[in-house]
Structure 1
Amino acid sequence: MIHKNLILIIVLILNFSTLSAQNGVSVKLIPVEVELSNVIAPQFPGGEAELYKFLESNIRYPYLLVKIDMEGDLDIKFNIDKNGVVHDVEIMRGFDPVADDEVIRVVKAMPRWIPASVSGQPVKMEQKLTVSFKADEDLKKRAKEQRKKETNDNFYIGSLIINETGASEINTGEVAPDVISQSDTLLNRSPQFPGGKDALEAYLKSNLKYPKRAIQMGIEGRVIYNILISEQGEISRIGLFKGIFRDCNEEAFYLIKKMPKWIPGLKDGKPTPMEVMLPIPFVLPK
């Protein structure tokens, strides 16, 4: 009995262990409870340590969040199907839309797993992860050095590492600091601010008024609103997703209220009401 308990303790420690964060990112696999005794959980090629290595090497810290000392955790879930392919990637507890999208991007690029099995037969099974973003002094130093080489703030800290698991190539695109949206096609398109992302960024910079109390108290961060764009392009609903300070929240709200009509989203080629996650940054002047 003692030996069995010792083995159980070791297994639990392994399940909750993480490798040291390489890009300010650390990952923890959340154990999934299984009722049946003849179930074998899915396994990442090479085991749990290789899973952490892959994710922590490829998930990068958005510079925009390092700049405002924004740290936090997110929980993500996904299914491993009978063929070991990752499906149904979904954020359960978000941190910031930019960081959430970065994690989703890398999780979707994972190589095939060894699928779960019941009595020797492959089955679909859900997996869950906690991903932590923590900006230590080394990361902040690297961020400042990298910023000197960049034309704007829309980049990540950390470089992609060629992994040994044979995963598909990972997209190295920049952070989208304004609208976090779905992929666009000719017939399916997310709502767009008139003039695009550059126009939206210019609108926010020229119209945002930093609340005096927030400046005096040294408050900065990103207020995030979930807005609904109607089929006519009007902002028909504004819901606070994540706030930082009442005055900043209110300023962001009125900024959105004053926006011009958007270009509505398309579904199957027809204008359709769609939601957009809109972060509005408040960065203290240096």
Structure 2
Amino acid sequence: MKYIFPIALLLALFYNSVAAQSPDTTIYEVAERMPLPLLTSCQPERHPDWTEDSIRRCAEAQLLAIVSKNIRYPEEARQNNLEGTVVTSFVIEPTGRISGIKILKDIGGGCGPEAARVLQALDEAGLRWLPGMRDGKPVRIRQALPLRFRLQEALPYFVNAAGDSIYVQVDSMPNFEGGDDGLLSYLLNGLQYPKAYRDSCKTGIIELALIIRPNGRVDIEDQLDFSGLGLDFQFEAIRLANRSSGKWIPAIYQGRPVATSVPIRMLFKSDQPGCKAANDAFDQAMILSNEAAALSGENELEQALGKWNQALALHPNNSELLYFRASTLLSLDKREEACADFSKVKMLMGTTWFEPLRRLVCGW
């Protein structure tokens, strides 16, 4: 089956500084200075020797790349082998946001609405434009953007740094013996809180990325200690994960077992009576984070931010909570605050699982 490469959405955040002007509601087709997408990698301060045309070409090329990477090929178009160019148009407002998205040319199969969806999603995610200028004032400009829809044969796997083929497209995912209940029982009964830290009341989650081999053997691909629990806790998580080798039914692709990756989260909470307050605070932080995620899904971003703030007040050095709050701050155009959270995650963990996004947004 043909399908477009699955690529996660990349966020880009931009500045917006337009002085108050007398409103001009006319939509122009041309201007003395045409609009320009404000992309961090194409900012003039990064390329002091570039001409304005070079900056513009960079920004336009980056915009097309970002839009193309975030298109989800419509199933109807894929099934009917529809390919071609969809031409969109939209108004770039004096504020740098876009409005009035239209489809000027469509190839059918849901491609037109998908192009409009991506443009709207990028605007909501923080994409801003340098507005067009006429007579020294920012004005509304209608811009056209052609988008190419092309089916590609994608491999069902990627090759990791160790040279292993890790499948991302499978017919059935790996299963732990006994299913989800069996895995939960294994983690609850097998995870041991490090004895030397029982009175420390350290509470948090360690997430492991496990490679489940075709023979059911387990290898650990990555580990994220979101709460900075430390090496003893990390070693315990690794110990329990390694002991699960042979307890997995591998993923199946085209009738044969293949290697794939699955995430496993392990919760550490001390059973000491003196740790009840710390455990309760962590539990409440997780409840608040779930509420924040639900509010974000409903685009209630200010309310979601309030929940993230409350959760972090209870668990202030939780890198996962900091990351999600930063994502909400980005959606609210609060780049400086978001980058502060991203910076704290990097400081706490030494690295980030979202480094390309951090560099794109924060520029460092």
TM-score of the superposed pair, with normalisation by structure 2: 0.33
TM-score of the superposed pair, with normalisation by structure 1: 0.41
Structure 1 or 2: more strand by fraction:
1
Structure 1 or 2: more helix by fraction:
2
